[in-house]
Chain A
Amino acid sequence: MMFYPMCRRFQFSFQLPGVYQVFESVARKYDVMNDMMSLGIHRVWKDLLLLKMHPFPGTQLLDVAGGTGDIAFRFLNYVQAQHQRKQKRQLRAQQNLSWEEIAKKYQNQEDSLGGSRVMVCDINKEMLKMGKQKACARGYKAGLAWVLGDAEELPFDDDKFDVYTIAFGIRNVTHIDRALQEAHRVLKPGGRFLCLEFSQVNNPLVSRLYDVYSFQVIPVLGEVIAGDWKSYQYLVESIRQFPPQEEFKEMIEDAGFQKVTYENLTSGIVAIHSGFKL
């Protein structure tokens, strides 16, 4: 097990090795299990997060606990599509491209992302490895960087990023308030915090069905597909542990964010919390 010099958590959090090893064993089958457990709906949730983010070309994104790259890849697709749309619009409005831009096009030097960059940060080596492999397989190269780091102590300077996202990662952090403070620190003024996470279901019938499904079906799926009952039992229990929407909103406000809002998806099974550093 790796000891990261900058990570002080090992000294007082003896529960941490448990979480780390869970994701070590889970990494390989992470994407398959996500599809199985959420019946593919997690893809819609992540798409909705990007829609909410609505990044424009030039955005600097930090995706924390972004392990296998789902958010990063969607971000790259989004800004690339935006950039192409912008260029089409320019051409159609008969704003001619400058000679420099034409020359760059011929030399294939043009930045198809328009200056956008995404940094994927994760505490777990196995998850990052999976993410890099996926990136290679799908041909994502430009604008993508992978960094090993701890959400409670990010290896970045202050005021660096336009957007900070954490999708299905913050419930695994030992000290959520510290992660929120770090998020506030590394965002530029005007930057946006976005969190996609499991939350409290607001509909009693859906809640019942969701509980049955979570506790009866998901560990079984974990055992049958990934050969790992305990990790998935842990997953469903960590979801129940996480603070409900309003409480989490208050925690985000405590970290210094303003205009904090949340949006429930699928009757509150997940929620997107958003805040700004102003």
Chain B
Amino acid sequence: MSAAMATLLRRSLRPLRAFRGHPRPAADVPLRATSHGAGLLYPEHIPTSLVQKALLAAGSAGMALYDPYRHDMVAVLGETTGYRTLKVLRDQMRRDPEGAQILQERPRISLATLDLGKLRSLPEDSFGREYLRFLDVNRVSPDTRAPTRFVDDEELAYVIQRYREVHDMVHTLLGMPTNILGEIVVKWFEAVQTGLPMCILSALFGPIQLSAQSLQVLVSELIPWAVQNGRRAPCVLNLYYERRWEQPLRALREELGITEPPRRIEGLA
């Protein structure tokens, strides 16, 4: 145990050997120089030591609480704390036929990959149409998800990226708006489904900023409903949403065992 600790400590104390010796003009330094000689596993990858990950996790958690508009900090928290959980998620995706297909084909959700015109032309109660309505009503765009940077495995980086990109679909399935209360309910659902530490932390600390009335509704009705549905439904990461646009939303909800929300919360929080 102490040998491992010593190795970790030594590794984090090692300075940047590659840059000693003949000094070059500083402007020649490539912006993406890595700090421990490890290669980049994917284009946006920033390799980090254990110490850096710990500091990032603590710092991003603090900053996310201090400034709730720093969504990038929530993302960083998820990336730095989710390694083990992502492995479990990836393994169970492999065991599921639809999930395995997603891992293989690596579909991405963004304005470039979505055919909004086609979605708009779909029948009213279809999942695709309802998803588009959700985007319009809440004025969100599928392009606001930042790329993963701090996950040290290329497949797991995709898994967390997929988790982020299907977040809006989960909103649609649950019928939750994007106000604070809606987001907290979705986080509870996701926490039960994925077990990601970031979801659990958000679910527990998010309600701090709520009014007493909203908190009451949340605790008495919404959380029990979200947890129940989260437990009952299969993992939402295993759904190949891009192939289910035409499926009626009601049928999809039945397939997953998701019930209607106990009440509408558009006006709350």
Known A-B contacts A216-B51, A219-B52, A233-B33; the reply to A172 vs B15 at CB < 8 A is no
B-side contacts of A227, CB under 8 Å: 70, 72
Q: Does A140 contact B (CB under 8 A)?
A: no
**Chain B residue nearest to A210 in the complex (CB):** B15
Known A-B contacts A229-B149, A237-B19; the reply to A220 vs B27 at CB < 8 A is no
Q: Is the CB of B16 within 8 A of A237?
A: yes
Checking B35, B62, B70 against A233 with a beta-carbon cut-off of 8 angstroms, the contacting residue is B35
State how many residues of chain A have any CB contact under 8 Å with chain B: 37
Q: Is the CB of A216 within 8 A of B12?
A: yes
Q: Is the CB of A243 within 8 A of B59?
A: no
Checking A174, A225, A234 against B25 with a beta-carbon cut-off of 8 angstroms, the contacting residue is A174
Q: Is the CB of B19 within 8 A of A241?
A: yes
Known A-B contacts A18-B27, A19-B27; the reply to A237 vs B63 at CB < 8 A is no
Q: Is the CB of A13 within 8 A of B56?
A: no
- A123 to chain B minimum Cβ distance, whole angstroms, is 11
- A85 to chain B minimum Cβ distance, whole angstroms, is 40
Task: Tell me the dominant secondary structure on chain A's binding face.
Answer: helix
A-side contacts of B176, CB under 8 Å: none
Q: Is the CB of B16 within 8 A of A212?
A: no
A-side contacts of B149, CB under 8 Å: 229
- A201 to chain B minimum Cβ distance, whole angstroms, is 11
- A35 to chain B minimum Cβ distance, whole angstroms, is 16
A-side contacts of B55, CB under 8 Å: 216-217, 220
Q: Is the CB of B15 within 8 A of A215?
A: yes
Interface residues of A in 205-241 (CB under 8 A from B): 208, 211-212, 215-217, 219-221, 223-225, 227, 229-231, 233-234, 237-238, 240-241
A residues near B (Cβ < 8 Å) are 13, 15-16, 18-19, 22, 171-176, 208, 211-212, 215-217, 219-221, 223-225, 227, 229-231, 233-234, 237-238, 240-243, 247
18 sample A-B contacts, Cβ–Cβ < 8 Å, listed by A number: A15-B28, A22-B31, A172-B26, A175-B25, A176-B25, A212-B13, A215-B35, A216-B55, A220-B59, A224-B56, A230-B32, A233-B33, A234-B29, A234-B31, A237-B16, A238-B26, A240-B16, A241-B24
